[in-house]
Amino acid sequence: EALLAEAAEPGTPPRPCPCPLPSGDTALSRLVRRLLSARRSLDLCLFSFSCPQLARAVQLLHRRGGRGRLVTDAQYMGLHGSQIGRLRHAGIQVRHDQHSGYMHHKFAIVDRRMLITGSLNWTTQAIQSNRENVLVVEDAEYVKAFQDEFEKIWEEYNPANYRFFPQKQ
């Protein structure tokens, strides 16, 4: 919370966080810090996104003028607590799959140079209760593979390409 407040209004003295969650250097704060390091773009490919702190970080980046894009799963985006509606409302571009399987990726790419990936869905339940892993990788080889997958999915899920009815031959 202190990180987000400082990022929202730089220069104001940090107020002590009133929430009962662990403060200081947690896995969540490290993840927020990586996201807030974005200067130009943030590409998100997330099966499930219900963590309000992470949504606020994405909104902050968007307000600062970075380009945020988000791909998510059609079945999970409407679940209780999902942050997708809020992010769409804030102006972030969101696309989702249109097939019955899950869009099960859980990765983010910061400024096309840092890949954040792993088992973690961006949910409060996962962050607080699960055993998870998050890899942060800057090797160009890995970043490129995920960036290519992102661009491919982004185009595939473009609403302009929706095909709700079979085409006549």
Catalytic residue, candidates 104, 144, 148, 152: 104
Residue 95 lies near a copy of itself (rule: CB under 8 A): no
Contact string (CB under 8 A) for a copy of itself, positions 39-68, x = contact: --------x---------------------
Among 118, 144, 155, 158, binds a copy of itself (CB under 8 A): 118
CA distance 79 to 70: 17
CA distance 28 to 6: 16
Residue 161 lies near a copy of itself (rule: CB under 8 A): no
111 part of the active site: yes
SS3 87: helix
106 part of the active site: yes
**Residue 9 CB, nearest approach to a copy of itself (Å):** 34
Count CB-CB contacts under 10 A for residue 103: 22
**How does DSSP assign 10-78, residue by residue?**
TTSPPPPP-S-S--SS-HHHHHHHHHHT-SSEEEEEES-B--HHHHHHHHHHHHHT-EEEEEE-TTTTT
Nearer to a copy of itself, 7 or 54 (CB): 54
**Residue 161 CB, nearest approach to a copy of itself (Å):** 16
104 part of the active site: yes
Alpha-carbon radius of gyration of the chain:
17
Supply φ then ψ for residue 54, to 5 degrees. -70, -35
Which range in 11-19, 24-32, 49-57, 122-130 contacts a copy of itself by CB under 8 A? 122-130
Q: Say which residue the tokens 């998100």 belong to.
A: 44
Catalytic residue, candidates 43, 73, 97, 106: 106
Among 1, 6, 111, 149, binds a copy of itself (CB under 8 A): 149
CA distance 110 to 53: 17
Q: Which residues are catalytic?
A: 104, 106, 111
- What does the binding site for a copy of itself look like in residue numbers (CB under 8 A)? 47, 97, 99-107, 117-120, 125-126, 128-133, 135, 142, 146, 149, 153
